[in-house]
Chain A
Amino acid sequence: MTGRRSGTDDRKGLRLCLWCLMAVVVEVALFTSYQGHDAKFHWFTHFFVGTSAALLAMAGVALRTRRAVPLPLVWLLSGHLFAMLPDVLFNAGVAHERWMEVFLGHISSHFVPGRNVTWFLIFLVCLAAYLAVVFHVGEGQDSATRTRRR
């Protein structure tokens, strides 16, 4: 019984590692797609904005479904990709235009007071919010399981 559980845990851990590795590889590729040392500033802005939005969406979904979202790193990557899509177009030769604000404020997000430090703090708050929801949902599930057992 213990051996079977340990095997399942190992497989889960391995799967998590693979997702982490994939996320790191994709993010490194996105980082290097920004040419020039000064452009890294833009990567950080869109990373924090996109992942913060994704974390809020994940928290909403977790609250609704009463369980943590599956594949959380895919949510974060998707949020980041959505926020930086105009930069992908820019690399293809399309200059930014005002309508590109639909991508999570792609232009104006750079100009918040405090710049990327502010977005980093917002990212931490969103991360804490998501983890609080997951914890809260997990507590609810545990208590429901205990009630059923009684």
Chain B
Amino acid sequence: MWLVVAVTTGVLLALSRAATGPLDDPDPARQRPGYLDDGALPVPAPEVTGGIPAPGRRAVVFFVRAGQLGPLCQALSGFRPGPVVDMAVVLQEGGGRCPQGITVVDDREAELAERYGLPTPRDGGPPVGYAVVDAAGHIRYRTLDPEVASLLGEVSTMLRAVS
């Protein structure tokens, strides 16, 4: 029985390591860690666009590539993170808008992602993830999250943590 446990877990571990995607963090421990103020954080949040982030208001800044914009906009249309929360989407390649009136900022050079300190994913391209900014204007959480459109509940959890 014990041999089966050891071999099965070893095989599953190997399979899970092979299942990482090109948009994942090279260090899986740094992806979606679920706690605030990791490493150098908190640090002042750079301005994304006029009014975001704004004093006294929390913000979540999403960083996406063209392929993630549609699903994210659709998911955000039903996303209610609570009062005094601003949202912005930073689009790092291609062009597009969110039909729901959510602010979309073009950032083809991925400068904003760099200034927000998001890590470079495994494929070396612009990061897909998000940063959470507190009401004092500090970045408290940042992570790569290629599946953010389907994991907005987790974004809510991190936003609640900075309230």
Contact = CB atoms under 8 A, between A and B. Distances in A.
Contact of A124 (B6, B24, B151, B157): B6
Interface in A114-135: 115-117, 120, 123-124, 127, 131
A132 to B, nearest CB: 12
Interface in A11-34: 16, 20
B108 interface: no
Nearest to A17: B1
Contacts of B34: 86-87, 90, 95-96
Most buried by B among A95, A110, A124, A127: A95
Interface residues of A, number: 32
B97 interface: no
Given A36-B151, A37-B147, A110 B9 contact: no
A38 B9 contact: no
B160 A38 contact: no
Interface string A43-60: 010011000000000000
Interface string B125-163: 000000000000000000001110011011011101100
Contacts of B150: 35-36
Contacts of B160: 93, 95
Contacts of A16: 1
Interface stretch (B12-20, B44-52, B54-62, B109-117): B12-20
A21 B20 CA distance: 29
B72 to A, nearest CB: 15
Contacts, number: 80
B120 to A, nearest CB: 16
- Classify chain B's interface size: 35 or more
A38 B157 contact: no
Contacts of B153: 93
Contact of B161 (A38, A95, A123): A95
A42 to B, nearest CB: 8
B151 A120 contact: no
Given A96-B33, A131-B2, A120 B156 contact: no
Most buried by B among A16, A41, A96: A41
A114 B25 CA distance: 15
Contact of A20 (B1, B12, B28, B33): B1
Contacts of A144: none
A93 B156 contact: yes
Contact of A40 (B16, B21, B36, B146): B16
12 contacts: A16-B1, A38-B31, A41-B29, A41-B31, A90-B34, A95-B158, A107-B33, A107-B35, A110-B29, A115-B28, A117-B13, A123-B6
Given A40-B16, A44-B12, A115-B28, 4 more contacts: A16-B1, A36-B145, A115-B27, A123-B6
